[in-house]
Structure 1
Amino acid sequence: MITSGTTGDRAFPTVDINADLVITGGGLSGVCGAITAARQGLKVVLVQDRPVLGGNASSEVRLWILGATSHMGNNNRWAREGGLVNEILVENTFRNPEGNPVIFDMVLLDKVTQEPNITLLLNTAVYAAEKKDEVTIDALKAFCSQNQTTYNLTAPLFCDASGDGVVGFLAGAAFRMGAESRDEFGEMFAPSAEYGELLGHSLYFYSKDTGRPVKYTPPAFALKDITTIPRFKSFNAGDFGCKLWWIEYGGRLDTVHDTEKIKWELWKVIYGVWDYIKNSGNFPEAETLTLEWVGMIPGKRESRRFEGDYMMVQQDIIAQRRHTDAVAFGGWSVDLHPADGVFSEKPGCNQWHSKGIYQIPYRSLYSRNIRNLFLGGRIISASHVAFASTRVMATAAYATQAAAMAAVICKEQQVLPGDIFYKGLVPLLQKRLQQTGQHIPGLQLRDTDDLVQAATIHASSELVFTGFPGTSFVQPLQLSVAQLLPLPKGDIGPIVFHADATEDTTLEVELRITSRSGNHTPDVTLEKQVIALHPGRNCVRLQFGTILENDGYAFIIFHKNPLVQLHRTTKRLTGVLSVFNTVNKAVSNYGKQTPPEDIGMEAFEFWCPQRRPEGHNIDLKYEAGIPLFQAENIRNGTDRPVSSPNAWVADWTDPAPQLTLRWDAPVTISRIDLFFDADYDHPMESVLMTHPETVMPFCVRSYRIKNAVGLVLAEVTGNYQTHNQLQLQQPLTTDQLILEIDHPSADVPAAVFAVRCYA
């Protein structure tokens, strides 16, 4: 027992922690940044002012993680973010396909606590910054409410991933809050008064069916008449969680200092909505429902945005501008919301998509006037309009991974964040990121450290695609569908398909490509054919006269005709898929984007995949064969499909797929990196949605690595991750390495994106 009768001054204890990098903010961005830096050897302190990690993705807010894949509702194929973002989403899909936010909390906590180089401080809020001089942070002061302890955090480098930019604000970093005028950056979509200065906050609720009648008495503060909300007819008894993203408020207030006021207004709406659902008599299906959960803190969209040496603008996104210092990418729409949120007469959002993913430059990831401060998460250097795209969690975290790797180089080279750009270290940063699975559009990894670059590669087989083996089945052509095929430059060989017709009819077929390399928007029509079909089964041989100038994806489009059934296949193949001209209202996809002429957006059609188990390939035959799945792809520096599959794929009939690497003289290997296909096209929303499988069907599950005399160096079973890094217990000196892999299933041949070996 402790007793004290003294009345003198008392103070909470202070703990001093020194690190290489202090990251403030434990949302997805801070988590990905911390793990990225820690795995490269930095001592990291991760400071989070909440009891759980994840920020808006945590069980406290429950928003799903999204980025460039945009619910598979845009034309950004194979665009899920790489590195730690990918690793965490794949892990969560494996452990938590039901999208339970509590389980996702555990996934993040598990990832962070496995890293010995991370000191995690939960329930700890930064409240002061001490500076060495006008342009340099020396230390942060933080306080933990749970253990009544003050922390003094010192480091040469700091990263602000706090969302509101608490460190940048306290340190005097240049920032903006509110929307720029159209004239400042020439952004044609700079918002009008209706779309306001800021995006607001949201709160969600979850309901639960108890199986028996449940009464509900609202609190006195609940909104009394929900019909005063212009969109009250949108409320129903079935929606819950982040499907209610449009319960938003605060765009005309100070979204930092008025947060508590905004929260109370949102609580009034939520409890009033539930009163309306339960007691209006309009929702008899709600009789047995209870209100299971209501958010206690609002999910924030926008507050401060900080200024780097480059500020991203609308044109960077829509025109997909190239940057020599590109280190990440985005692909969410330019997604602005009305300033009055749920009280507005306007639609809840106004999403305008680009034709493909865009680069994020390194110069947007550090403060222009605080020399040792990195910008992470949603506060990176971007205009209000560009922020409308870069703000989403997967994009924000992806950029923060790049900032964290830059911190590693800063320590190794004894430089400051801006020096990486101005002293010519960006290529090194890009290389280090790409080695860990960070895809940077337009860049190939040129890795002189990789011993595989000097090896002779032999494969037991290489798929030359002539068609899908096995039997087919038919599906009605209710939607226009395209088979996305990687074709080599030159003549297009004959394409054979089968269609069943109920009566005499015609089928319109098109050949399209994209106008920009790396995009997957079929905006260039090369040929059209109209094919006469007779009742019953039709075997059709397509012959196109086009000569392709480059390797790239072609869209073989079959326009909808309810009188026709196309033959499909259950077989799936890395880098090959079907896409549909359909509607996805969740991301403002109505089949075609038709913007007003004066907002700087482009018009084009959407051709998007269907989620498995749907989205079957068309049972095409390509008689000339597509030879783009060679073993050489494992060292081409691109570890996902872009303009080509970029994978070695074994033949369907190969009973024991195998790669053999041979060197002219023995080499010493300490580490082997393998990159498999965990389906970069699947968005893997982290909460709420249920996924069709826990392991992606293309992913190699089992493999073995052997040396020249057949000794097994590593054997892995049950794999589901993209990146497998194997650190050998002892360095191996050999002139040969053998990788034996098993086909994932009878429907999917084995595929490998990359094999890299390091001394």
Structure 2
Amino acid sequence: MIQSIEKNKRELQQKTMYSDLVIVGGGLAGICSSITAARAGIKVILVQDRPVLGGNASSEIRLWMLGATSHMGNNNRWSREGGVIDEILVENTYRNPEGNPVILDMLLLDKVMKESNITLLLNTAVYEAEKEDADTINLLKAFCSQNSTEYILKAPLFCDASGDGIVGFLSGAAFRMGAESKEEFGEQMAPDTEYGELLGHSLYFYSKDTGKPVKFIPPSFALGDITKVPRYRNFNAKEHGCKLWWVEYGGRLDTVHDTEKIKWELWKVIYGVWNHIKNSGEFPEAETMTLEWVGTIPGKRESRRFEGDYILRQQDLIEQRTHEDAVAYGGWSIDLHPADGVFSEKPGCNQWHSKGIFQIPYRSLYSRNINNLFLAGRIISVSHVAFGATRVMATCAYVGQAVGMAAKICIENNLNPRDILSNGLMLTLQRELMKTGQFIPGLILKDQRDIIQKGRAIASSEIRFKGFLHEGLWKALDWSSAQMFPVDTGEIPSFSMDVNALKDTMLETELRISSRNGNYTPDLSLSKKQFSLKAGQQTVGIHFDSILKEPAYVYLIVSKNPEIQLGYTEKRVTGVLSVFNLVNKAVSNYGKQSPPEDSGVDEFEFWCPQRRPGGHNFAIEMSRAQQVFGAANIANGIDRPTTGPNAWVADPDDPSPVLTIEWDEPKKIGKIELFFDTDYDHPMESVLMTHPENVMPFCVRNYKVKDDKGNILFEKEDNYQTRNTIIFKEPVVTSKIQIEAEHPSANVPAAIFSVRCYRDI
């Protein structure tokens, strides 16, 4: 007998969870926000609607993480983001220099699961927000498809890092979608409707050479006429993954609700492209190749942008405007794309760089009308134009870190996000961020709790930098080249450099600095000198007769001349770099930025480093040693090169470098923080690209920390991370600490950016 259907409604299993902060979105912004908050001591629930973490960086999409370093293709030296995102990038480069996205998935899960204050909910999608009043979220409802459970998530604070802004949307937070007019913010780069007001989605694929012939039969939905893609001739058999970022679509559609439609269109293109590569006969090298992977969800660029108390705009970026509430920075180009994407006749992107990094204010990181809602990732309060630069993942992660620390301050003081400003706690937020390695341009860490500030830093040696000796390495002057030197105030020293003229010719040199102190765009010429060379090897003396009023980097530029070889060295020193007037098409760098007159963007040259094992320093000696690497730098409140190296660097000839911090009376120490040089100039692309080294050459690998009696308090071998935190089970009482730091190699002397000591953990 057939049983009657039960008439009573069945309920899903329901679970109510409480925390201090609920973060929705497990991309890099959500990850770094949650780790920062958890380490600061508050309870976090991290909600991710996918089976893995990482968002666009994950194995589901496979885009490399990038930010202000911009593939080393702009003038933002030493600009890789600090804090948790730096820790992740350094860790990935160490464990995964091959750029395997599956290993990155593992690493991100590992980082989150190590934090006892984080509860992670994967495969869980938020679908409803309940409010206790018009301006305050009370709880979120979410559903996990894998365990058929409904979650009720309660907290005093919420953070939307979901990309499309699901929490902000459901809670009634003010948002924008599409481009502003030129008139609204006076942005000269604001696009017209013909170019389009939204950036589209991209879908990637990986190919693999099997070593034997492989057939490919396309699906029925594959794009049949590849010429519908104006750039179809740009496809080749070897290029895959996020190097095909321009396979983009959807800018004319609703990039939230039409995502599935956009995905199908991108699948049509991808399978049509692979059919063209395999079966057109134009790519014989593809005979043994197969599709290894095709993305199943598209990587999104743009959808909703939510309104905070301040909307960042083009002028903030290009003019590098300062904000009293700065908590982060960006440095990617203003990178806008035609709305028609892969089907557009226009170039795939329209990238314009600023002369340096720009501040991001705290007022852009919370909702202006929902009192307890933080914003992180690509949905922060920016105009469409400014969004072109703030949307990249390392920048998204960086603002996420600021939100995580702000949440900790809010919980401690029973505040909502905006109240940090009105309660005079902005300096506290900035200080706590900088203590974790979050560099904020223009700010210096002043921490009265740091016992180092009451001590004296003394070193067994410090490099008296006079340049580099020539060691027999010659390179042709095939492009204009420059050596960056950190120089203290006063008269610029004279230089002497080894050159080899292949025939009688002219050597043209120039001395430049940046017109804005702290930038690395050499746009201000101080002097030029020309020299007549006879064929053969010779040493050229150069004196520019210029004076510096404040410490800065100077650029000794040598103009392109293939008839000349310059002497180089294998030696490297923290905060010293060679740069070249090169082309990097990946970031629209053609050696010089020449924008349209009405764009509101500056014209300037690009001077960028080469990746190792290239990028050698010039063999140039200076007449006067530069006293810029002293021990006192470890307490100056800056953890990376800016207007100077900001590091103690030992003399390379010192066989056993020791940095000592001493006090007039014994101090109780519970924690020590050390910041080493993991090369902030290296972008550390997380996937697809491989890196020839997994540890940065400047990083101190082995060190010991001793007390005033010579007892070893801590010993580390094979260090590769930027920030090392030493916590003692019982506080140590000592009148000095000694850090014995081994040189990383024979070519690189030991260097330390910062040492900080605290009584309490």
Q: Which TM class, normalised by the smaller chain length? A: over 0.9
Residue 474 of structure 2: aligned partner: 474
After TM superposition, give the deviation of residue 363 of structure 1 in Å.
Answer: 0.3
Q: Which amino acid aligns with 1:351?
A: Q
TM-score, with length taken from structure 1:
0.99
- Deviations 1:403-451, CA, capped at 9 Å, x for gaps: 1100000011111100111221110000000000000000000111100
Residue 193 of structure 1: aligned partner: 193
| Aligned-pair identity (%) | 66
Q: Say which SS state the counterpart of residue 500 (structure 2) adopts.
A: strand
CA separation of 1:660 and 1:470: change in aligned 2, threshold 3 A: farther
Residue 82 of structure 2: aligned partner: 82
Q: Which amino acid aligns with 1:636?
A: N
Q: Which amino acid aligns with 1:233?
A: R
Matches within 5 A, 1:339-738: 339-469=339-469, 471-738=471-738
Distance across 1 between alignment mates of 2:289 and 2:463: 54
Residue 95 of structure 1: aligned partner: 95
- Deviations 1:266-304, CA, capped at 9 Å, x for gaps: 001001111111111111111111011100000000000
When structure 1 is superposed on structure 2, of 466-475 and 651-660 the one drifting more is: 466-475
Distance across 2 between alignment mates of 1:511 and 1:154: 60
In the alignment, is the contact (CA less than 8 A) between 2:470 and 2:567 conserved in 1? no
Matches within 5 A, 1:270-281: 270-281=270-281
After TM superposition, give the deviation of residue 733 of structure 1 in Å.
Answer: 1.4
Residue 249 of structure 1: aligned partner: 249
1:57 aligned to 2:57?
yes
In the alignment, is the contact (CA less than 8 A) between 1:195 and 1:338 conserved in 2? yes
Residue 295 of structure 1: aligned partner: 295
Distance across 2 between alignment mates of 1:7 and 1:130: 29
Q: Say which SS state the counterpart of residue 747 (structure 2) adopts.
A: coil
Q: Which amino acid aligns with 1:378?
A: R
- Deviations 1:228-284, CA, capped at 9 Å, x for gaps: 111111111111000000000000100000000000000010011111111111111
In the alignment, is the contact (CA less than 8 A) between 1:477 and 1:564 conserved in 2? yes
In the alignment, is the contact (CA less than 8 A) between 1:472 and 1:570 conserved in 2? no
- Deviations 1:447-470, CA, capped at 9 Å, x for gaps: 111000000111000111012257
Residue 113 of structure 1: aligned partner: 113
Distance across 1 between alignment mates of 2:194 and 2:530: 47
Q: Say which SS state the counterpart of residue 563 (structure 1) adopts.
A: strand
Q: Which amino acid aligns with 1:166?
A: I
In the alignment, is the contact (CA less than 8 A) between 2:130 and 2:137 conserved in 1? yes
Q: Say which SS state the counterpart of residue 660 (structure 1) adopts.
A: strand
Matches within 5 A, 1:177-326: 177-326=177-326
- Deviations 1:107-163, CA, capped at 9 Å, x for gaps: 100100100110000000000001111111011100000010110000000000000
Q: Say which SS state the counterpart of residue 56 (structure 2) adopts.
A: helix
Residue 28 of structure 2: aligned partner: 28
Residue 38 of structure 1: aligned partner: 38
In the alignment, is the contact (CA less than 8 A) between 1:660 and 1:737 conserved in 2? yes
After TM superposition, give the deviation of residue 195 of structure 1 in Å.
Answer: 2.5
Q: Say which SS state the counterpart of residue 68 (structure 1) adopts.
A: coil
- Deviations 1:586-610, CA, capped at 9 Å, x for gaps: 0000000000000100000000000
In the alignment, is the contact (CA less than 8 A) between 1:124 and 1:142 conserved in 2? yes
Q: Which amino acid aligns with 2:108?
A: L
After TM superposition, give the deviation of residue 707 of structure 1 in Å.
Answer: 0.7
After TM superposition, give the deviation of residue 7 of structure 1 in Å.
Answer: 6.2
1:173 aligned to 2:173?
yes
In the alignment, is the contact (CA less than 8 A) between 1:164 and 1:379 conserved in 2? yes
After TM superposition, give the deviation of residue 9 of structure 1 in Å.
Answer: 2.9
In the alignment, is the contact (CA less than 8 A) between 1:334 and 1:385 conserved in 2? yes
In the alignment, is the contact (CA less than 8 A) between 1:214 and 1:290 conserved in 2? yes
How many pairs align? Answer: 757
Distance across 1 between alignment mates of 2:403 and 2:390: 15
In the alignment, is the contact (CA less than 8 A) between 1:577 and 1:617 conserved in 2? yes
Q: Which amino acid aligns with 1:50?
A: R
In the alignment, is the contact (CA less than 8 A) between 1:195 and 1:336 conserved in 2? no
In the alignment, is the contact (CA less than 8 A) between 1:144 and 1:150 conserved in 2? yes
After TM superposition, give the deviation of residue 6 of structure 1 in Å.
Answer: 6.2
In the alignment, is the contact (CA less than 8 A) between 1:78 and 1:641 conserved in 2? yes
After TM superposition, give the deviation of residue 678 of structure 1 in Å.
Answer: 0.2
Distance across 2 between alignment mates of 1:225 and 1:693: 43
Q: Which amino acid aligns with 2:725?
A: Q
Distance across 2 between alignment mates of 1:456 and 1:267: 63
Matches within 5 A, 1:11-26: 11-26=11-26
Q: Which amino acid aligns with 1:255?
A: T
Distance across 2 between alignment mates of 1:648 and 1:295: 47
- Deviations 1:336-390, CA, capped at 9 Å, x for gaps: 0001000000000000000000000000000000000000000000000000000
After TM superposition, give the deviation of residue 554 of structure 1 in Å.
Answer: 0.3
Q: Which amino acid aligns with 1:122?
A: L
Q: Which amino acid aligns with 1:271?
A: Y
For structure 2, the residue ranges without an aligned partner over 5 or more in a row are: none
Distance across 1 between alignment mates of 2:236 and 2:4: 58
After TM superposition, give the deviation of residue 4 of structure 1 in Å.
Answer: 13
Distance across 2 between alignment mates of 1:7 and 1:702: 70
Residue 124 of structure 1: aligned partner: 124
In the alignment, is the contact (CA less than 8 A) between 1:308 and 1:364 conserved in 2? yes
- Deviations 1:194-248, CA, capped at 9 Å, x for gaps: 3211000000000010111111111001111111111111111111000000000
Distance across 1 between alignment mates of 2:164 and 2:293: 25
Q: Say which SS state the counterpart of residue 271 (structure 1) adopts.
A: helix
Distance across 1 between alignment mates of 2:472 and 2:84: 38
Distance across 1 between alignment mates of 2:472 and 2:452: 39
Q: Say which SS state the counterpart of residue 190 (structure 2) adopts.
A: coil
In the alignment, is the contact (CA less than 8 A) between 2:528 and 2:544 conserved in 1? no
Distance across 1 between alignment mates of 2:219 and 2:46: 38
TM-score, with length taken from structure 2:
0.99
Q: Which amino acid aligns with 1:552?
A: A
Distance across 2 between alignment mates of 1:25 and 1:5: 39
Q: Which amino acid aligns with 1:428?
A: T
Distance across 2 between alignment mates of 1:513 and 1:374: 40
Q: Say which SS state the counterpart of residue 629 (structure 1) adopts.
A: coil
After TM superposition, give the deviation of residue 659 of structure 1 in Å.
Answer: 1.0
Q: Say which SS state the counterpart of residue 686 (structure 1) adopts.
A: coil
Distance across 2 between alignment mates of 1:79 and 1:676: 15
When structure 1 is superposed on structure 2, of 497-506 and 464-473 the one drifting more is: 464-473
RMSD after superposition = 1.1
Distance across 1 between alignment mates of 2:305 and 2:195: 18
Distance across 2 between alignment mates of 1:248 and 1:434: 37
Q: Which amino acid aligns with 1:349?
A: C
Q: Say which SS state the counterpart of residue 418 (structure 2) adopts.
A: helix
Q: Which amino acid aligns with 2:632?
A: E
Distance across 1 between alignment mates of 2:670 and 2:428: 21
In the alignment, is the contact (CA less than 8 A) between 1:472 and 1:619 conserved in 2? no
Distance across 2 between alignment mates of 1:212 and 1:226: 26
Distance across 1 between alignment mates of 2:492 and 2:546: 7
Q: Which amino acid aligns with 2:229?
A: I
After TM superposition, give the deviation of residue 493 of structure 1 in Å.
Answer: 1.4
